[in-house]
Structure formats: structure tokens, C-alpha cells
């Protein structure tokens, strides 16, 4: 039976400046074709994402942030009730809380908040955000490999040296 995958969700609007950080990180991860990793993108989180968390070893939500210490912050997130229910976009904590109500304890979850600064419609990624994205991608790749190593998966199952090298670029 294959091990449970790690789900990585990139959040943001690709056409709104640094809001594209989440989707762009997913796009770059897709190119690496990492095994054991599932990728999703959307404009925002909503309650049905709770369904996507089922049977996942870990969940990582990647998003642009205006207050993360550059280049990025990686923090665990727990199921908590908040008032994002009243909006068209839920917080990661609220999605985990919805999962907990439906299915019980959710998988371990983290937020990778990449520092951005400009969010204008029609603008591209800022120079600083591009640098932060590269740092976040390299760090995340290494973390994914470490996670799989600790779980006993063969490094070769993870793509061996080729992906390791590309992650460090």
C-alpha cells in the first residue's frame, strides 16, 4: 500500500502581483514531479478543502504574506474556530476545524507564508518576492525529502539525486 501523500495547496491569484507566490511555488514544484506529493491551487480556501485533507500524511498551505519575516515563515497550524466562516475565504485553521468536526483529528498541517509586498491586479511578481520564492522552494524541497527519509522511504523513490540537486538550485 503506497504511503499517504503530502498535500501542498498554493493559494492566491496569479494575476495579482505577489499574490501569485502560492500558485507559482506549486507550478515550480509540478515541474520537479516529486513523488509522494500532491499539489493543488486555488484563489482561496473554502470549506470543501476539508475533503482534500482526507488520507494525507501532512498538509502544507502556501500563501503570500504581508507580515512574514522575509524570505518566508513556516509554522504549524492547528484546528481553531474563527470567524472566517462569514467570508468567501476560510483560514487554514478554520478548514482544519471543519475537518475535525466531520472526520476527527486532522493531519498535521503547516503554513508556508512567503513574504510579498505588492498585490495590484495585472502586475507581475516583484523582485523581492521572486527572491523569497526561490528561497522558499529550495527550503521546502529539502524539507520534503527529510520528511520522506524519516518515514523510511527510499531516497531513490523520491527521485534520487536529480531532484535533490534541483531542489538546491
Partner 1 sequence: MSQSVISNHLETAPHPETLRRVAIEPISRVEGHGKVTLLLDEDDHVQQVRLHIVEFRGFEKFIQGRPYWEIPVMVQRLCGICPVSHHLAASKALDQIVGAHTVTPTADKLRRLMHYGQILQSHALHFFHLSSPDLLFGFGSEMAQRNIVGVAAAYPEVARQGILLRKYGQEVIRHTAGKRVHGTGSVPGGVNKNLSLAERDELLKDIYQMIGWARGAVHLTRHLFEQNLAEYNAFGRFKAHTLSLIRADGAMDLYHGGLRARDMDGKTIFDHVNYDHYWEQISEEVKSWSYMKFPFLKALGPETGWYRVGPLARVAQCDFIPTPLADKERQEFIAYDAGNPAGATLGYHWARMIEMLHAAEAIKELLHDDDLQGTDLVVQGERQERGVGMIEAPRGTLIHHYRVDENDQVIRANLIVSTTHNNQAMNEAVRQVALQYLDGRKLTEGLLNHIEVAVRAFDPCLSCATHALGKMPLQVELLDAEGNQIDQITRGSCDRPTSNC
Measured from the CB atom, the residue of 93 and 135 that comes closer to partner 1 is: 93
Q: Does 85 bind partner 1 (CB under 8 A)?
A: yes
Q: Does 69 bind partner 1 (CB under 8 A)?
A: no
**Minimum distance from residue 164 beta carbon to partner 1 (Å):** 30
Burial label, 127 (beta-carbon count in 10 A; 0-12, 13-18, 19+): exposed
Q: For helices 127-150 and 160-168, what crossing angle results, to 10°?
A: 150
Residue 121 C-alpha from the chain's centroid: 22
Q: Does 30 bind partner 1 (CB under 8 A)?
A: no
Measured from the CB atom, the residue of 51 and 146 that comes closer to partner 1 is: 51
Q: Does 7 bind partner 1 (CB under 8 A)?
A: no
**Minimum distance from residue 56 beta carbon to partner 1 (Å):** 16
Centre a 10 Å sphere on the Cβ of residue 150 and count the other Cβ atoms it contains. Answer: 8
Residues engaged in binding partner 1 (CB under 8 A): 11-16, 19, 22, 40-48, 50-51, 61, 63-67, 81, 83-92, 94, 97-98, 101-102, 111, 113, 119-122
Amino acid at each position: 500500500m503506497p504511503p499517504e501523500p503530502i498535500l501542498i495547496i498554493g493559494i492566491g491569484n496569479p494575476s495579482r502581483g505577489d499574490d501569485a507566490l502560492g500558485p507559482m511555488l506549486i507550478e515550480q514544484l509540478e515541474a520537479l514531479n516529486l513523488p509522494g506529493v500532491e499539489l493543488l491551487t486555488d484563489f482561496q480556501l473554502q470549506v470543501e478543502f476539508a475533503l482534500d485533507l482526507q488520507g494525507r500524511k501532512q498538509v502544507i498551505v502556501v500563501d503570500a504574506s504581508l507580515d512574514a519575516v522575509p524570505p518566508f515563515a513556516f509554522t504549524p497550524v492547528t484546528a481553531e474556530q474563527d470567524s472566517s466562516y462569514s467570508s468567501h475565504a476560510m483560514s487554514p485553521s478554520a478548514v482544519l476545524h471543519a475537518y475535525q468536526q466531520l472526520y476527527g483529528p486532522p493531519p498535521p498541517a503547516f503554513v508556508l507564508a512567503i513574504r510579498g509586498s505588492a498585490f495590484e491586479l495585472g502586475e507581475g511578481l516583484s523582485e523581492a518576492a521572486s527572491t523569497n520564492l526561490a528561497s522558499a522552494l529550495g527550503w521546502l524541497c529539502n524539507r520534503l525529502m527529510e520528511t520522506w527519509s524519516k518515514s523510511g522511504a527510499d531516497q531513490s523513490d523520491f527521485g534520487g539525486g536529480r531532484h535533490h540537486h534541483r531542489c538546491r538550485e
